[in-house]
Amino acid sequence: MSNDQSMLNTSDSLAPPALTIGDLFFQPEPAVAELPHLITILDGELIGKISHLTKTRPGLWPLPAPFDENDQYNEVRETAKFADWGLTLNQAEVQGVGRLVKEALFGANLMLLNSAVDEAQLTPIGQTRGQRLENGAWFTPGYQDLPDLPKVIKLAGWVLIPIGPGRSRDLIADSADQTGIIDKLREWCDRLGRDTWKLVRPDGRIVLDHFPAPGPARENAIRHRIDLFLGEMDLWYRDSADGLAARIGERLEHLRTLRKNISKARRPPG
């Protein structure tokens, strides 16, 4: 059997498990479910689109911006006005997903908001609070589970929160009187082949619904990602097509085994 055939035959077993509401939220009834929202893949392109649609300069709440009004950089400064995120150099960090911003997006508990929001009004409602679990562990939920999140959105107009495994996805929501932003963002995701998810209540219970991107757009996006990968491999390693195919087949088999073991470990005993 050729490497190509082997990769095709393992494709079904390599499919990741479907996302559930429990993968993204701690609360079974997230408050954001009643507001216009969508969930999709988090990357710099999305942040730029949000900024364009909302005509705002996003800031990372509650983190201090690295540049001050004198263009002095200090990534460990402890205090700063949230409005400082709107400064030109700080926006370059956000829009370009600089190192500090990237580390924060994928590693810290935060949310992106309009940097022009009234900070005095945001502070009392934009704080997550830790809680003791039944097993005694201390847990601080993410901003997606913030009870006052609808108040934050009403004040700021919109919010973007990194969520999910590895914070690889994001929740975008806006106030009830700005549904056009979410509609336009969903159309943009469809055109670019991005899948989206949404909280729905089909029978009284909130569940996570998946909306795959249209087939042609999805295929174009996949081809584009593969071309980028092949270009990088050629640039960095100059590997031949046959050698690369063999390596990919090896890694796919490794991934298949890994996911199989994880699935087995998650099964209840007995």
Sequence-ordered list of residues with C-beta below 8 angstroms from that of 245, at least 6 positions apart, any chain:
3, 4, 7
- Tens digit of pLDDT for each residue in 174-197? 987 776 899 999 999 999 999 999
pLDDT, position 56: 95
Q: What is the sign of the dihedral through the CA atoms of 185, 143, 177 and 28? A: positive
Q: Which helix (H) or strand (E) holds 141?
A: none
State the greatest distance between any 2 C-alpha atoms of the chain, in Å, as a whole number. 65
CB burial of residue 255 (10 Å; 0-12, 13-18, 19+): middle
| Mean pLDDT along residues 142-165 | 94
pLDDT, position 9: 45
Query: Among the listed ranges 112-121, 134-143, 166-175, which one has the minimum average pLDDT value?
Result: 134-143
Domains of the chain by residue range? 3-14+216-266, 22-213
- Tens digit of pLDDT for each residue in 12-48? 455 667 889 999 998 889 999 999 999 999 999 999 9
Phi and psi (nearest 5°) for 87?
Answer: -65, 150
The one-letter code for the residue type at 54 is T
Cis peptide before 62 (omega within 30 of 0): yes
Report the share of the chain in percent with pLDDT over 70: 91
pLDDT, position 266: 72
Show the beta-strand stretches assigned E in the chain. 37-41, 58-61, 111-114, 131-132, 138-139, 158-163, 169-174, 196-200, 207-211
Q: What is the sign of the dihedral through the CA atoms of 218, 223, 228 and 230? A: positive
pLDDT of residue 203 exceeding 90, the answer is: no
Q: What distance in Å separates the CA atoms of residue 116 and residue 229, rounded to the nearest whole number?
A: 38
The one-letter code for the residue type at 138 is W
- Please answer whether residues 55 and 99 qualify as being in contact, where contact means their C-beta atoms are separated by less than 8 angstroms: no
